[in-house]
């Protein structure tokens, strides 16, 4: 189910959360990936597990997009991880300061040309995540999110 709003009624029970604000730069995107891997390891998915590698890749792609396409001078992006332990689902949210720059909707992505150096990140997100989409919480931000089953 790839929709513009986040599914909210699918998960029940307690969830674990991790949130941090990072600079909307390449360095901030790298740090988001490393911190998410560390957090997943502390939640029981070791660095060398497939689940940790997949989730870190998804965070890295969304954080890179937030740094490149969501960058506004003097504004950070926010990484939020929500783990639903009962079904081992991780929700990844990257919120940036450019609500007018929304990515294409799920299911409408076109492959990048063979000679281009970018344009494949959301294709990876669509391939690896069980759900993904965007939502605008207010007039100042947008959130690109995805969910992945860690299993």
Classify residue 77 as exposed, middle or buried by CB count within 10 Å of its CB (0-12, 13-18, 19+): buried
Examine the pLDDT at 1 and tell me if it is beyond 50. Answer: no
* pTM of this structure: 0.85
Q: Is residue 94 classed as helix, strand or coil in its secondary structure?
A: strand
Q: What is the four-CA torsion angle of 140, 147, 9, 108, rounded to 10 degrees?
A: 70
Q: What are the phi and psi torsion angles at 4 (to 5°)? A: -75, -20
Tell me the CATH class for 25-109+119-149: alpha beta
Q: What is the pLDDT of residues 98-147, one digit of tens each?
A: 878 777 777 776 776 676 665 567 888 888 999 999 998 788 899 999 99
Q: Rounded to whole angstroms, how far apart are CA atoms 33 and 17?
A: 16
Q: Rounded to whole angstroms, how far apart are CA atoms 135 and 130?
A: 17
User: What are the boundaries of each domain within the chain?
Assistant: 25-109+119-149
Query: Do residues 134 and 102 make contact, with C-beta atoms less than 8 angstroms apart?
Result: yes
């Amino acid at each position: 189910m790839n929709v513009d709003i986040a599914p909210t009624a699918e998960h029940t029970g307690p969830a674990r959360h991790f949130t941090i604000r990072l600079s909307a730069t390449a360095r901030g995107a790298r740090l988001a990936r490393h911190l998410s891997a560390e957090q997943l390891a502390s939640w029981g998915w070791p660095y060398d597990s497939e689940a940790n590698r997949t989730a870190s890749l998804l965070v890295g792609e969304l954080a890179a997009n937030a740094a490149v396409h969501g960058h506004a001078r003097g504004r950070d992006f926010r990484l939020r991880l929500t783990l639903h332990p009962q079904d081992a689902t991780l929700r990844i949210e990257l919120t940036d300061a450019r609500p007018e720059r929304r990515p294409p909707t799920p299911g409408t992505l076109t492959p990048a040309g063979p000679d281009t150096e970018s344009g494949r990140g959301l294709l990876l997100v669509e391939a690896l995540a069980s759900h993904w989409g965007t939502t605008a919480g207010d007039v100042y931000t947008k959130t690109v999110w995805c969910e992945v089953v860690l299993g």
